[in-house]
Structure formats: C-alpha cells, structure tokens
Structure 1
Amino acid sequence: MQFIGEHLLPGELGHFFAILSFAASLVAMIAYIQSTRTENPEEKNSWRRLARAAFITDIVAVFVVIGTLYFLISSHYYEYFYVWSHSSNEMQRRFLLAGFWESSEGSFLLWTFWNCVLGLVLMRMSGKWEAPVMSVLSFAQLCLASMIVGIYFSSAKFGTNPFILMRQFEAGAPIFSDPHYLQSPVMQDGRGLNPLLQNYWMVIHPPVLFLGFASTIVPFAYAIAALWQREYKEWIKPALPWALFSAAVLGTGIMMGAAWAYESLTFGGFWAWDPVENASMVPWLVMICGIHTLLAYKSTGHSGRITFAFFILAFLLILYSTFLTRSGILGDTSVHSFTDLGMNTQLALFLFVFVIPSLLLFIVRYKDIPSIKAEEAVDSREFWMFVGALILFLSAVYVIAFTSIPVYDKLFNKKTAPPEDVLYAYNKVMILVLIVIALLTGITQYLKYKKTATGFRKLLLPSVIALAVAALVLGFGHFDYLKYGQGYLIAIYVAVASAVFAVVANLSYIWVAYKGKLKNAGASVAHIGFGLMLLGILISTSKKTVISQNTSGIVIPGLTDAKGKPEDPTENLTLVKNLDFRLANYRVTYTGDSAGGPKDAKVYYRLHFTSPNEDFAIYPDAFINPKGQEGILANPASKHYLDRDVFVYLTSLPNRSSTDDTSTFRDHALKPGDTLFYSKGLMILNRIVHGTDGREGIDAGLGDSVFTADITVHAMDSSLYRARPVLVVQNGRLAYYPDTVMSQSLILRFAGATAKGITLGTRESASVMDFVTIKAYVFPYINLLWLGTMVMAAGLVMSVVRRVRRG
C-alpha cells in the first residue's frame, strides 16, 4: 500500500547515516588498535590515517543524524514515532531541543555528539597517546552507535531506530489501513513534552551533563592506555587536565540539574537523594578522588595503583548509571528514569564490555604499577590527600549501594523495604563525610609533599579567624533544626564551622602562598567554592521554614506532596480570590490567572505580595495531570533576595468545570444573637470573643487587639457549621482573617466593629469558589550554594588552563 503525504526521505537518510556511524566507528576502533599494536612507524602512521578518516566519517554521520532528527521534530512530521512522542504543535520552539533529548535515543545522540567533539580535540592534542586513547573512545562510539542503529539480527533487536514510522511502531492498528491516515485528526498533533520539562534548564542542563558524562572517558582512556602500553608515569601529565575538565563540567551539570529541580519540582529543595541524582553524583565523587591521588602520584609516586582504579571506576560508574536510568529498573523509585525500551540486555552488554576487559587489565598489570613500599609521613600532603580520597570513595560506595537496592531486588527476587526516612539515611552519613572533607581541604594545602618541616604553625591564624567567623554565623544564625535530635544538630554546627574553616583557610593560603595572585591558585579557589556550597546546603536546608501556615481556616482534603505523601493541612494556605491573607511578613492575595500563551499549556496564577517595604507579584503555574490521575502538576515560583528565596508552589486548584465566580462581599450590621439569612440557610452570631477563640494561624503580636466572631451556620439540609472570622488591629491597621464554609460556598469576613456589634461581610458563590492552595518556604542564603558551584567550577577550570599552559 502506498501511503499519501509521508516524508520518507529524511528518515531513510537519517537511518542510513546511523548505520554509517556504526560502521565508521568500528573501522576507526580496529585501525587505532592496529596502530597501537604495530611497531613499524610507517605501518603505524598508515593505520592512524585510516583511523582518522574513519572517525571523521563517523563525526559527519553523527552530525547528519542529529540534524535530520531535529529537522523532523521542528517540521512536526508526526508520521515518525519519535516526533509524535516528543513534540506537539503547542510546543514553543525553544523547547524543541528538550524534546529532542527527552528520550533515550536523543540522549545517546547527545552523548555521541560530545564524544565526536572530544575525539577531534584528542586527535589534535594527544600526540603519541592518540592511537591507544582513541582506540578506547572509538570503542565507546561503537557501543553508543549500536544503541540507535535500529536493526534486527533474526529476532534480536539491535538498538532502537529514532526514525521509525508510526505505522511501523503500531503495526496492525486500524488507522494504518487507510493510505490517507495522515489526514486523520489523530495524526494532526503529537503527544508533546512533559510540561514539567518545559523549562529553560532542560535546554541547557542535559548538554552540559552529557558533556560531563562523555568527558569521563578521557581519563579512563589514558589510564587504560598506560596499562596497555606499560607506561605508568608518562600518562599523568596529559591525563590530569582532562580529569580536572571532566570534574568541572560534570559537577556543573549535576548542579544545573539541582537548579532545575529547585525551580521546577515541588519537593521543596534542590536535592532529594533520588536514585538518578545519586547515579550521576557518584562518578563525580570518584573522579574527585582520582584527581587528588593523581596529584600525589605525580609528586611522590604514592597512590599510583589506586589512581588507576579511581579513573577506571569513575567511567564504569557512568555506564552503570546509564544502565540504571535507561533500563526502567528505577521506574518505581525515581521520577527521572527513562522508560524501558526493551534494550536491557544490550545496556547490560554495554556495561560489561567495558567492565570485564578494563578490570582484567588492571588486575593483570597491578603488580607492575610502581609502588613505594615506605608509608607516607603523617605530616605529608599526600597522606592526607589519600585519607580524604578514601573517605570520599567510601561515601560514594555507601550512596551507590543504597541506590542499587532495586537492582539487588531484581537479581535475587527480593523486596527490600526502604528506610522509613530516606533523606536521613543519606544525610546522617554524608554530613560526617563532609565535615572531614571540609577540614582536609583547609588543612592539606598548608602541608608539603613527603614531609612538612614547619608543622601546622601556618594554620594557626586562619584557624582563629575561622573559629571567630563560625561563632558569629552560629551565634546569630539561630540554628534549631531538631527534627533528628540533638546529635544531628551538633553535627550541623560542626559542619558549618568546618565549611567556614575551608573558606577562610584557602583564602589565607592564596594570600600567603600565591601573594594574592589567582592564576596559580585554582585548587584553592575550587576548595573555597566547595566550602561555600557546603555552607549554602547547610544553612538553606537546616533553616528552611514553611511560612504558609493555614490562616484561612480552609482545609482541602487529600493534598499530597511531589512524592505522593500526605501534606500537612496546617502548612497549606488556601487563598480565596481577591482576599488577602497573612503569609509570614507579607499580605498575599490571589488576584487571578492567565494562560501561558498559544504554545504554553500551563496556567499562571498571580499572587500579589505586599509588606511595609515592598510590593511584588510572583506567578507559580500548574495544570491538571494530563495522564488523567488525580492531582495537579505544578512548577514553583520564587522571589529572589540576596540573603533568601521565598519559594511558592500550588498544591490544589478548584474545579473549573462550572461557571466563574463573580460574587462580591455584602456587609451586614449584626449584634450577638442576630440571625442573617443566606441562599442555602441562615447563620447566627453567637458572641464576639476577645482573642482567637482557639483558631490557629493568626499572626498577632502582644500589642495587637484580636477579635473573633463566633458564628453558627444552619444549612437547609440541617447541617451545622462553625465559622470564626477574625479581625486583628495592628498599629491602627485592620487585618482580616476570613473563614469559609466550603460545602456552602460561603465566605465570612469580620469587616469591622459598630457601637452595638460588628460588621460582617458575606460572600456567596453560585459555583465552587475560585481559590488556590499554596505551600511556601523561605530558603535562607541558598545563593551561597549557587555561588559556591560557580566558584568551584571556576577553580577547576583555572587548574585546567594552568596545566595546559605548562604543557
């Protein structure tokens, strides 16, 4: 059957070049291996020329595949399954890239793209190491190309083809029996991108993260090449800048993901110890271990064997994280994992074709790696660098072991119960690790390799300054985080002091050792960034405060957080439209909503904040879950200050199926005992109470006058309800705390006092009233976290530049 309107040529072209990429990377790998093995210079150069030609062919093929797939997405050719699954007519053009790498095929292409770029640089810069290093990278390219080649050997599927047509993917569906199926309404639009991913961070975060993933292969390749060629010292100089570069980019990519989570997800933070977050962080920790032991190995000869192990494990853990996130095995424990594409066997093979040869080579060459039998001196830099690396590595093992519980359960058919508090299970260990690491980043800089003749005297002044600064921070910071008891609070105090020490000690070292010149102080700058990050984490999380206490008296049943756990109703404030409510030091009013635009499916809700010193609006957005499940999907909004963020997201919305509410308040003069009728019954003012009458969430000081109207509402169905609107007089200003009888769509406001009674404002709605329910936090000094991330990355880049300039 000939189908009308299909654009087949781009897909056929893209698939051809995907197969060409696989073939070219295979040729490049074989040629580079032959160039490495042969001793004849002329033959070596001949194989290298062939390998370069093949790798450049691979690069061209990858670029064509990427360009073709993006062309299909941007052209909205919905006859292709990938286009239909990850784009729609309503998607803004800036999010088309996010749709491109939303799925496994696109992310593999992104990874392959960065391997191409890294390969070009290595061909130009790696000199005599080109052949063995590029052999490893070409093998990785071959494995990645196999993931998107999309061909079958007998009944075995080999990769997934991003250019497969809808009628091929859903073969047998009735719609495809019509040659004009593309004219069907079903084919006029795609499924689109998850609205939570329609965020600018999802355009810039994945490319940086995948450059970090891809770059870990270069130190790994140098380590393998050194073991392969038995050159155990010569690889250090070229490998070190690449390791620093990888740590900088991967760390930045991870923290970009944290920033996306902070701005787009509603768990109220930037890190949730999600398995996918952990799987990306663990290789970075191991890479940091490898950098420090490589520096010790370079200067003293100590820690050579463990350095090889660290760089090998860092890349293998990247592959393991790829298996975890794309196999679907974390589907029940992570909100980030990809859908199972039926490629678990191939993903496992991808992992083991690197694990087995690399570890076997390391074991075989282990005894040949130079090792100094004499132990390091306790007052030497290399000793404490090794201690720090070992502690950091053990923490990585702890995190990946916890993260791998689903794998263990799958392999052994178990059902391991997770800890009651997953966050605490990680935090109670990691806070101790970070204390030690923070102290070592301050101390180790002052030590010399092999032996420190002057002892620790130079540390005296920065230690005194750090203690003084830490005392000020802790004294005026009012740290009272007692959720996990006094012992954990003490650990927070010590961690804050350790982070301050790391910053002060490294600032001092820049002044003492480098005379204030930063160009050679990359390590100290990176350590300062780490200390600032740690301070930002500790302060913002331990002093995070919920400010959305329920002052409206309206309780929405069934509220759940981002992980499906029940929300505390006292921490969720329901805002009735055009009524102002107290929110910490602000008065906040929900004034309305607006659609995002013709290509933005989200609805933005305007929350107007006022205080004696400022007036602003923020716009959290939300939408009903498109999968038909109960609840909403929400994106937070924040007001950023230098010293804090006010962070707000929506937890409940009204049913908009009925007509909009246009009613207004009507004022009535009442005295105790009076009856007032409304459309569904009557209400009686029982008494006027001086005080809150037991109602919670009223913000009143010692000098304020508080009055509560005690009202009984009698509905026509014989139901009785109690309402307690509150009036607070604060320095001559009136603050209203209305009360609502939700089932009657009735809002009561204590609007003022008269000579004989009160003025009661009533508002009825012919439909369900217009409201939003919000949860709001204050994150103190969270900007220290983002500043520290940038400073640490800058320090690592400075170290890269310095190493490259030194040849």
Structure 2
Amino acid sequence: MNYIGEHLLPGKLGHFFLLLSFVSSIGATLSFFLSVQKSRSLANNAGAAQWKKLGRLFFALEVFSVFAVFSILFYIISNHYFEYKYAWQHSSRSLEKEYLLSCFWEGQEGSFLLWSIWHCVLGSLIIWKEKEWEGPVMTVIAFAQILLATMLLGFPGLHMGSNPFLLLRNSGVLDNAPVFSDMNGAIRQDYLSMIKDGNDLNPLLQNYWMVIHPPVLFMGFASTIIPFAFAVGGLWTKKYSAWTKPALPWTLFSAAVLGTGIMMGAAWAYESLNFGGYWAWDPVENASLVPWLILVAGLHTLVIYRHTGNALRTTFLFLLLSFLFVLYSTYLTRSGDLQDTSVHAFTGEGITKWHLRIFLLLFALPGLGLFFRRYKSIPFIAKEEEASSREFWMFIGSLVLFLAALLIITMTSIPVFNKILGLFNGKEKTFSTIALGEDATYSYNRIQIFVALILGLITGIGMYLKYKSTGTPFLKKLIVPATAGLVAGVLVVYFGKVNYEEKTVGFMVAIWTAVVAAVFSLVANAGYIFTGLKTNLKRAGGAISHVGFATLLVGILISSSKKEVLSYNTSGIFMDFGKGSKEKAGENLTLLKGAKTDMGKFWVTYAKDSVHPEKPLWYYNLRFERKDGKENFTLTPNAFVNYKNQSGLMANPSAKHYWDYDIFTYITSLPDPAKNADTSSFRTVKANVGDTVFYSKGFAVVKNVQSFRNIPNVPLGPNDSASVATLDIFAKTGSRYEGKPILINKDGQSFLQTDTLTAESLVFQLQKVDGKKIELGVKESESIMQYVTLKAYKFPFINLVWLGTIITVLGFIVSLFYRRQQGRVSKARLKIVKTAGKSVEV
C-alpha cells in the first residue's frame, strides 16, 4: 500500500548505513584482534601490519556510516517528517531551531548514536596518535561499536534494540486510535494528513544547557573506554607496564571531560529543575559520578606507579572498573528500574534489560577475567610504602574515592536490589524491602561529608610530601600554609555563620570540620604552587586540580549549609501541596497579581505573565524591589501544568546572580489557565443587618449598610444614590477579612461594584438596598484568583562551585599537556639512543 506524503528514502538510507556500521565494526574488531595476535608472534609481524591496515579501512567505513546515520536522522527531525516515530515522538513544528539537537538525544536511540559518534572520533585519534597500542585499544573500541550498533538496528522478533528509522505506522502508536484506521482496520493511506504536529521535546530539555551538556557528558562516558582498553591491552599482551605511559594522558583527558559533563548537568539542574539546587543525589546523577570517582582514583594510582612502581595492580582494577561502571550505570538508567526514583531516567522503551546485561557482561567477563588470570604476573613491590611518602597518602585518597563510589552505587542500586529480593518475596515474605528513609539526600550527605573531610586533609598535606620517603624538613614547609589554612577555615566557619541546624549537632560539627579541611587544602595547594614549584605552572597540574577541588568543596559545603529560605509566607494565603510533597506551606509565598507583597528585604510583585505562542507554557514576570531603594530587578520563572503528558506542576527556575550569592526562585503552585474559565454565577441572598451568609469555606456577617449622596470621583445628581454594605468575613482557616460591595444608582440605572476576596475565591455583589434590608449576590469561583506561589532561596557563594569545577578541569588539562610534552621528549631521546646504535630501554 502507498501512503500519501511519506518520505521513505531517508529511512531506507539510514537503515542501510546502520547495517553497514554493524558489519564494518565486526570487520574492524576482527582485523585489529588478528593484528594483535600476529604481532605477538615474531614470524608474523608482516601479517600483523596487513591486518592493522585492514582494520583501519573497516573503521574508516564505520566512521563514515555512523556520521551518515547521524546526518540522516537529524535531517528527518529538522524537516518534521512525522511518518518516523522518532521525529514525531521527540520534536514539533513549534520547537525552536536551537533545540533540534536536543531532540536528537532525548531518546535512547539518539543517545546511543551520540555515544557511538564519540567512539568514532576517539578511535580515529587513537589510530593517528597511538601506533604502538593501536591494535589492542582499537579492538576494544571496535567491539563496543558492534554492541552499540545492535542497540540501534532493532530486531523486533528478538525484542532487541530500537531502530530510530522506525515508521510511525509500524510502531503500534496508531493502532489504538481508530481515526487513523479504515473500514478494514488497516492504517489509512492519508494518515499523515491528520498528524498536524509532533509530540514535542520535553520542556525541561528546552534549555541551552541541554544542547551542550549531553554531548560533553557522552564524550566523557565514551572516553573511559580508552584507559580501560589500555589496561586490557597490557593484560592481553603481557606488557604490564608499557601501557601506563600512553594511558596517563588519556586518563587525564577522560577525567577532565567526564567531570565537565557532570557539572554541566549540575548547572542544567540548577537552571531547569525545581528541587532547589544543583545536586540532589538523583540516581542518574550518581550513575555518572561513580565512574568519575573511580577514574580519578585510578588516575592517582597510575601516577603513583609512574613515579614509584607501586600500585600497578590497583591501577588495572580501577581503570577497568571505571568503564564497567559506565556500562552498569547505563543499565541502571535505561532498564526502567529507576524510573520511579529518578527525575530523568529512561523508561526502558525499546531496550530490553537482558540486552543491557549482555552488553555489560561482554566487557566485564573478559576484562576482569584477564585481570584475575594475570594477577600474580602483574609486577608489584613487596615492600610497603613509607607512611611519610606521597604515594602512601595518594593511595589512601584513591581508596577513599573508590569506597565512596562503591557506597554511592550501592545506595543508588537499592531499587534493583528490591526487585531482585521481590523474586523471593512470596507468601512467606522472607526478605524485607530496603529503603534509604524519608530523606534520601541526608542519607547520602551524612556519609559523604566525612569523605570531603578526609580528602580535604589528604590533598592539603600530600603535595608537600615526597615520593618514597619524606624527611622532617617538609614540616617546616607545611607549617605556614597549614597554620594559615586552618585559621582561615575557622574564620570562614565563625564569621560566615556556617550552619545546618535542620539536622543533628553532630552533622553540623562535621560540616564545620569539613569546611576547615577544604579551606586548608585550598590554601596549602595554592601555597605549594608558589613555594614548592616556584610558580612553574607547567608542572603544577596536580596542585591546580587540588586547588579547584578544594574550592568546589568549600562552595558545596557553604552553599548547601547556608542556603536560606527567603519566601516565608507573609501573605496569609497558604497553599495545600498535598500529602508527600516536599514543599512546606510556610516557606512558600503566594503572590496575587498586581499586589506588592512583603518578602524580607524585598517587595515582590507579580507584575504580569505571558504565554508561549504555540505551547501551554506560561512565563511569569516577578518584580523585586529592595526596601532600602538600592536595587530593582525582574525574574522570569516559567511553569506549566499537565504538559507533555506529565502530571502535576512543572517549573523552570530563574535566578539573580551576584558575585557572592544567588537569589534562586521557582514557581510551586498556580491556577491552571486551561481550567480557569469562570462559569459560575451569583446566587442571591436576602439579608438584614446582623444576618449571617454562609459560603463553602466560611461565613460572612452583614455588619452595616450605609447610603451616601456623594462619593469620590463619581458625580451624583439629586435623584442618584450610592450604598455600601460592610461585611465581616470569617474563613474556616481562622482568617478574618472585610468586604465592601457598592451599589450606585445613577440616572435611573444601577451600577454594581463587586468586592473580590481572592484569598477565599469569593465575590460579593450588592444588588438591592431597602433600608437595612439588602439583596446580596454571592459567587464562589476559583478562576477569579490570579496568583503564583513562589519558593525563593539565597545560595551564598554558589559561584565557588562553578569556579572550583573550572579550576579542577584546568588542572587536568595542564597535567595532560605536560605529560604529552614529556612523552615527546622521551621519544626524541629514544630516537637518539637508537641512532647511536645502542639497545637501551628509555
């Protein structure tokens, strides 16, 4: 059957290149694998070179295919070809052009393709730069490409994978909508004419951070395969130490990129999510943090080995686990197991759990199997490190990072554990459900605060120690920065009034101690750059990263512990957020449109609102005025109700940035404009002075009725009159109000000036007056109240978080270039030695 309006050629081309990618990745894997196997035999070196050339050709074809798939899919999305499910599901005609790329990686298929793209880029760099280790590293990368290709090809009979070029009419989406079917139950030929628009991009992803954050994060994920591949290569070829030198710059690169991607996600959360901060220990956040922590631990043990020959076994393990935890995190976030506990986990659509488990096992079993098989052969130094040596404390720090990562991933995996335990939870209920408690964030914080404390102390002292052994003179070098750091830390805690009184005293003391340790680390490492390294910044990468990490810790501790609620309710209008809500009515300020409302040092006015021209998305203009008259500014948070098939209120925050703090706001409650049409009418009640008139939320007492011959701004003739009824209004909440509806009789006509009590959604109308008897119109309508309820925080020194991230990444980059430079110098020396006819390992 021919379907009217379909563009089938892009989909056919896309599917062809997916198949070509799959086949070429298999060819590249086998070719590079055989090149390694042949190179291990002295008699087959020529054959190894041929297989390597063939592997390069296959991988070049793989690169071309993957980029072709990307281009075709983006073409389909940008041209709104809604006959393809992926374009219909993730985009719309009303979507701004700058967010079209976000559509690409909103879905699972696009994110796996993005991962594959970065493997292509990084693999090409390996082929260009790492001639000696090209074979083993590329075998691993090409093998990963096979598995990623299976995620995209889609095998409907096996319920395996999800093809981004699947047609909407073949996806089952239209089967439950009779309007798309003809008399025989088949999809109508003109079904596209009834699809006016796509499902649109999730509004929370319509943010500039979501254009740049996912590519950087996925480059970080993809890059962890390179240290993993070097480690596998070292075990595979039994060159247990040679791989560490070229692997070090790549490990630095991976740590820098993945760390940047994680903190970009934190910045997106700060600007787009309404949980009131940049980190909430969400499972998806944790799933990206854990591989980074283990990678950084492996980076430090790798540096230890390069300087002392110690910790090689630990380095193998950490670098293997860093990538394996990327795969495990992928399983957690895409299997659907976390969809009830994470704000941005995938639901598992199109990707089966067993497919993800196989992906993980196909790397974990060979990698860890090789490690344990070769464990006894891996060189190690039997002598224990001196407690006064730098490597000893670096190893302790690495171990702390590793244990922190294991604890985080264990707590994050609780939903998975519960599902496994559920298999045994028959009638006998052998096992109980594991839970973190009501305050999951505190469950993480009360443990990780001690990790921050230990790392602050170790990073502050470690740079002043020497490898292998340190004499007592180092104490003289450390005493000044140690004293200055500790004094500065105590001053920050005391004068900065750092506190966290919501929890226990012990937790608050732990925060104080951690702040002192972090400030000490910051001062000590900054001092080391100027004293120990004589401001030689080329060699200062480690110290710079430690300065950045200490700055980040200070920013996290202060901004979190000193976060202040500014929006304490002064309006008297308290919202019921419902059972289970994290919001407290007393910490949310309801703003009536046009009414200046007291909020601490500010007057806040809900000035106006506007609506997106094509979407149910509302923007709120909130004007802030300092009471001392020194400053005025406007914030524009937005919010939407039941948009994109999601229940409840969704909101994007807005913040005012200062050098030392942010004012962070978001909407917590608002009337649904779609349901705000006023369809209610007045009911008439006859009453005398002193009578009581009831309404659903309370009652009103007619206190008085007065008539006037003249009123301001309304000229009245001799036969005209004006009457005012004064009402005492008593709400069930205990609040008391006064109402004064007015009736004006002028020139034989009646003019009714209603009195609206927005807090009670109540309108009074004085319809008739006869002495002390009146006819009162009463109307109750939710639509009369134009309001927003606001949550506002003050985040002190939040910029230290972003500054610390930048400095940490800068330190990684400085170290990367320094290590690369050292590698080039070593190669030049080796060339000179070989030219002299000597056989010396340099």
Deviation at 1:635, TM superposition (A): 0.5
- The counterpart of 2:439, out of the listed 401, 410, 421, is 421
Match of 2:760 among 722, 736, 742: 742
1:550 is aligned with what amino acid?
N
Letter in 2 for 1:159: G
- Shift in alpha-carbon separation, 1:245–1:576, aligned structure 2, 3 A: same
What is the CA distance between 1:334 and its match in structure 2?
1.1
Amino acid at match of 1:135: T
Give the aligned partner of residue 648 of structure 2. 631
Alpha-carbon deviation of 1:457? 2.3
Letter in 1 for 2:736: A
Name the CA shift for 1:799/1:244 in 2 (closer, same or farther; >3 Å). Answer: same
| Aligned-residue offset at 1:172 | 4.7
Q: Report deviation, 1:629.
A: 6.2
**8 Å contact kept, 2:567–2:791:** yes
TM-score by length of 2: 0.84
- What displacement does 1:602 show? 2.1
Q: What is the CA distance between 1:766 and its match in structure 2?
A: 9.8
* Partner-residue secondary structure (3-state), 1:7: coil
Residue 210 (str. 1) matches residue 218 (str. 2):
yes
Residues 548 and 583 in structure 1, CA contact (< 8 A), matched pair in contact too: yes
Alignment partner, residue 88 of structure 1: 92
Compute the displacement of 1:222 (Å): 0.3
1:545–1:778 Cα contact (<8 Å) kept: yes
| 2:411–2:436 Cα contact (<8 Å) kept | no
- 1:98 matched residue in structure 2: 102
State yes or no: 1:384 paired with 2:403.
Answer: no
Going from structure 1 to structure 2, the CA distance change for 1:50 and 1:442 (only over 3 Å counts) comes to: same
1:498 aligns with 517
What is residue 595 of structure 2 aligned with on the other side? 579
- Count of residues in correspondence between the two structures: 735
Alignment-derived partner of residue 780 in structure 1: 796
Q: Which deviates more from structure 2 when the two are superposed, residues 166-175 or residues 345-354?
A: 166-175
Mapping of 1:175-574 within 5 angstroms? Answer: 175-176=180-181, 177-185=186-194, 187-340=195-348, 341-413=350-422, 415-453=433-471, 454-558=473-577, 565-574=581-590
* 1:797 counterpart = 2:813: yes
Letter in 2 for 1:397: L
Distance in 1, matches of 2:150 and 2:445, equals 39
Please list, as runs of the form range in 1=range in 2, the aligned pairs for 1:4-23 lying within 5 A after superposition: 4-23=4-23
Is contact 1:745-1:767 (8 Å) kept? no
- Is the 8 Å Cα contact of residues 182 and 188 (structure 1) preserved in structure 2? no
SS at match of 1:777: strand
CA contact (8 A) 1:712 1:720 kept: no
Letter in 2 for 1:215: S
Corresponding residue of 1:165? 167
Deviates more, 1:565-574 or 1:538-547: 565-574
Q: Aligned partners of 1:714, 1:275: CA distance in 2, in Å?
A: 49
Deviation at 1:626, TM superposition (A): 2.1
Corresponding position of 1:109: 113
Residue 613, structure 1, aligned to residue 630, structure 2: yes
Q: Distance in 2 between matches of 1:266 and 1:377?
A: 49
Q: CA deviation at 1:660?
A: 8.5
Question: Structure 2: how far apart are the matches of 1:534 and 1:75?
Answer: 46
> Which residue identity is paired with 2:162?
T
- Residues 132 and 630 of structure 1, relative CA distance in 2, 3 Å threshold: closer
Cα distance in 1 for residues equivalent to 2:645 and 2:45: 67
| TM-score, with length taken from structure 1 | 0.87
CA distance in 2, matches of 1:720, 1:597: 39
Work out the percentage of aligned pairs sharing the same amino acid.
48
Return the alpha-carbon distance in structure 2 between the equivalents of residues 115 and 289 of structure 1: 23
CA spacing shift, 1:45–1:435, aligned 2, 3 Å: same
- Amino acid corresponding to residue 104 of structure 1 in structure 2: Q
| Structure 2 Cα separation of the partners of residues 212 and 746 of structure 1 | 63
- Residue by residue over 1:333-366, the C-alpha shift from the partner in whole angstroms, topping out at 9 and shown as x without a partner, is 1111112124111111000000111111000100
Relative to structure 1, is the Cα distance of residues 386 and 221 closer, same or farther in structure 2, using a 3 angstrom cutoff? same
Query: Secondary structure of the residue that 2:532 maps to in structure 1?
Result: helix
Structure 1 distance, partners of 2:560, 2:113, is: 36
Q: How far off is 1:596 after superposition?
A: 3.3
Question: Equivalents in 1 of 2:611, 2:657: separation in Å?
Answer: 24
Identify which range, 249-258 or 476-485, moves more after superposition: 476-485
SS in 2 for 1:331: coil
Task: Give me the whole-angstrom Cα distance separating, in 1, the residues matched to 2:199 and 2:191.
Answer: 15
Shift of 1:559: 5.1
Determine the C-alpha separation between the residues in 2 that align with 1:746 and 1:507: 69
Deviation of residue 628 (structure 1)?
Answer: 5.9
Relative to structure 1, is the Cα distance of residues 55 and 486 closer, same or farther in structure 2, using a 3 angstrom cutoff? same
Query: 1:684 offset after TM fit, Å?
Result: 4.9
Distance 1:307 1:739, change over 3 A: farther
- Cα deviation, 1:394-438, whole Å, max 9, x if unaligned, reads 111111111111221222316323323211111111110111111
CA distance in 2, matches of 1:70, 1:311: 34
- 1:675 and 1:682 in contact (8 A); partners too: yes
Report Cα offsets for 1:414-469 as digits up to 9, x if no partner: 63233232111111111101111111111111111100123422110001111221
CA distance in 1 between partners of 2:584 and 2:797 (Å) = 25
Q: 1:713 aligns with which of 728, 753, 763?
A: 728
Residues 277, 316 of structure 1: alpha-carbon distance in 2 compared, 3 angstrom cutoff: same
SS in 2 for 1:616: strand
Say if 2:151 and 2:351, in contact at 8 Å, map to a contact too. no
RMSD of aligned Cα (Å): 2.5
Deviations 1:127-147 (A, max 9, x none): 110001111111111111111
1:67 and 2:71 aligned: yes
Aligned in 2, Cα 1:121/1:369: closer, same or farther, shift over 3 Å? Answer: same
CA gap of 1:61–1:350, structure 2 versus 1, over 3 A, is: same
Conserved? CA contact 1:496–1:538, under 8 Å: yes
Q: Secondary structure at the match of 1:648?
A: strand
Unaligned runs of 5+ in 1: 662-672, 686-710, 726-737, 748-762
Matched, 1:49 2:53: yes
Deviations 1:155-198 (A, max 9, x none): 3133211101011111755425354333443x121111111111
Q: Distance in 1 between matches of 2:496 and 2:669?
A: 34
1:456 match: secondary structure: helix
Q: For 2:417, what is the secondary structure of its paired residue?
A: helix
The answer to whether the Cα contact below 8 Å between 1:547 and 1:777 also exists between their aligned partners in 2 is yes
The answer to whether the Cα contact below 8 Å between 2:575 and 2:585 also exists between their aligned partners in 1 is: yes
Cα distance change, pair 767–293 in 1 and its aligned pair in 2 (3 A): closer
Q: CA deviation at 1:106?
A: 0.4
Pick closer, same or farther for the CA change 1:547–1:45 going to 2, 3 Å.
Answer: same
**Residues in 1 aligned to 2:492 and 2:98: alpha-carbon distance in whole angstroms:** 43
Contact 1:723 1:740 in 2 (8 A): no
Rounded to whole Å, the distance in 2 between the matches of 1:276 and 1:106 is 18
| 137-146 vs 204-213, which moves further | 137-146
Q: Which amino acid aligns with 1:617?
A: T
Following the alignment from structure 1 to structure 2, what is the Cα–Cα distance between the partners of residues 684 and 649? Answer: 41
Aligned partner (choices 742, 748, 770) of residue 786 of structure 2: 770
CA distance in 2 between counterparts of 1:539 and 1:674 reads 58
C-alpha distance in structure 2 between counterparts of 1:366 and 1:766, whole Å: 71
Structure 2 unaligned regions, length at least 5: 426-432, 680-688, 705-725, 739-755, 766-778, 824-842
CA distance in structure 2 between the partners assigned to 1:574 and 1:683 by the alignment: 29
User: Deviation digits for residues 629-654 of structure 1, max 9, x if unmatched?
Assistant: 65311111001111111111111112
Contact 2:394 2:462 in 1 (8 A): yes
